[in-house]
Amino acid sequence: MYTLNSTLYNSSSSKKGKKYMNEIKVAFITGANRGLGFETARSLGKNGVYVILGSRNNVQGIEAVKKLKEEGIDCCMFSFDINQTSDHKKIYTYIEKEFGKLDILVNNAAVLLEDNQEDKNLTSSTSETIIRKTFETNFFSVIALTQTLLPLIHKANAGRIVNVSSSLGSLTRHSNPDWEFYGCKMIAYNSSKTALNAFTVHLAHELKETKIKVNSAHPGWVKTDMGGESAPLELKEGVKTSVRLALLPENGPTGGFYHLEESLPW
């Protein structure tokens, strides 16, 4: 029933036919083998979207596809490391060949390399290595992937780009002593999300005369490997913002920063 090659796992697109694929929305989600990425894939799939799960871990990616298919969701896994430019080219080639367009790009993959459990501000001692590695994954690689896939998003009837950010990227909130996370000053992770928000604003402005919408999503504090067990939100709640932005109607917003339907300060 299942087949696997070095890149792709269990694609049903060719069996469905080009006409079918042209009639439905196609989404590519990075870091989709677990956590928020996986739950986003599940939710979009239940909304009738064909989902390509980008996964750096093939074993976890295969299991993710099996779970979704058991729920009746059309999907496949593509072996993908956002920090490998060659993978950007491979996913472009695959999507172009199989679907001819990309309706939804969810830039979900991210890393948090700092230990800030006690809310200590370690800005002056955070290593350049940690800062560079964080920005490579959370910012530079996101821009590179988006630029690579943008021609395919232009071919969709109504392209949507969702950059999964964080309220920790809000300079306004970090400047407010009354904010509940005011002490959470992780210079690498936080500033990478601030930069990602800037990318959202600039790309949305460039594309404002097109049908493509670009927005940043704050999931909330969610129970994931990154968020930890103390987080108050379950995965189903955490993906609501990204899914809403991925499925925005024609009159929906662009160039914004949101949690659910609330507009967040930059």
> pLDDT tens-digit profile of 25-59?
999 999 999 989 999 999 999 999 999 999 999 99
pLDDT interval class at 264 (50, 70, 90): very high
- Whether residue 4 is predicted with pLDDT greater than 60 in this model: the reply is no
Residue 183 lies in a domain: yes
pLDDT interval class at 238 (50, 70, 90): confident
Residue 2 lies in a domain: no
Q: Sign of the CA dihedral 193, 195, 85, 95?
A: positive
- CATH number for the domain spanning 73: value is 3.40.50.720
Q: What is the DSSP string of the chain?
A: ---B-SSEE---HHHH-HHHHHHS-EEEETT-SSHHHHHHHHHHHHTT-EEEEEES-HHHHHHHHHHHHHTT--EEEEE--TT-HHHHHHHHHHHHHHTS--SEEEE---------TT----TTTS-HHHHHHHHIIIIIHHHHHHHHHHHHHHTSSS-EEEEE--GGG-HHHHT-TTSTTTT---HHHHHHHHHHHHHHHHHHHHTTTSS-EEEEE---SBSSTTT-TT-SB-HHHHTHHHHHHHT--TT---S-EEETTEEPP-
- Whether residue 247 is predicted with pLDDT greater than 90 in this model: the reply is yes
Query: For 196-222, what is the mean pLDDT?
Result: 94
What pLDDT is attached to residue 118? 66
Residue 222 lies in a domain: yes
pLDDT interval class at 220 (50, 70, 90): confident
Mean residue pLDDT across the chain: 90
Residue 29 lies in a domain: yes
Residue 212 lies in a domain: yes
Residue 242 lies in a domain: yes
Report the alpha-carbon distance of residue 246 to residue 259 in Å, rounded: 13
Query: For 88-109, what is the mean pLDDT?
Result: 98
Residue 203 lies in a domain: yes
Residue 207 lies in a domain: yes
Residue 104 structural domain: 8-263
What pLDDT is attached to residue 17? 55
Number of separate domains in the chain: 1
Query: For 228-235, what is the mean pLDDT?
Result: 59
What pLDDT is attached to residue 119? 78
pLDDT interval class at 147 (50, 70, 90): very high
